[in-house]
Each structure stands twice: as structure tokens, then as C-alpha cells.
Amino acid sequence: MRQRVKILELLVKWKKLMENQTGRKIKMLRYDHVKEYKDSFLQFGQNNSIVTHFINGKDGKAKEINRYLLENVQYLLSNALIDKSFWT
């Protein structure tokens, strides 16, 4: 139970941070491998008007999305001529 509370606290902090930095509301979140937290994440989504999707990790969709995002971030960093020591 303590782990679940900690994860939800981190999710709330992350949501506030992202919305403050972008000036936009989060509309949708996708989760994978969250069997034990599914009900809590659904409730979080409902309380915050966020559409919640659960991805089966076996289909590889989350990995595909992460790889796509990472490749695009690396492309943007390389075009910005930012030293690679800042890429982490």
C-alpha cells in the first residue's frame, strides 16, 4: 500500500510539473505493466479529466513510442548543437 501511495504522489507531482512547464492540461496517459495500480490510475484519470489507456507490454507499443520519442529528442539536440554531455 505504501508503494502505491508513493507512486500516486509522484504522478501528481509530475502532472503539476508538466502542466506548469507547458501551460497545457494533460488529456491522456498511457500505462503499461500496472496491474496492481490499475484501479488507482483509473481513479486518478477520472478525478483529473484525463483519458486513461492501459497497454499490454507484450505488444511492444510502449517501447515503440519510447524509441520514437528518444530518436526525435536526439535529433532536436543534435540540431541545436548542444554538447553531448548535456544529453542525459
Helices vs strands, H then E, count in the chain: 3, 2
Please give the sequence-ordered ranges of beta strands (E in DSSP) within 1-88, or none if there are none.
28-32, 51-55
**Helices 2-22 and 38-47, interaxial angle, to 10°?**
40
Which tens digits make up the pLDDT trace of 23-76?
999 999 988 777 788 888 999 999 999 999 887 766 667 777 888 888 888 888
| pTM score, whole prediction | 0.58
- Cβ atoms of residues 33 and 57 within 8 Å: yes
- Cβ atoms of residues 50 and 26 within 8 Å: yes
Which tens digits make up the pLDDT trace of 24-37?
999 999 887 777 88
pLDDT in the model for residue 47: 95
Local structure of residue 48 (DSSP, 8 states): T
Take residue 69 and report the three cell numbers written for it. Answer: 520519442
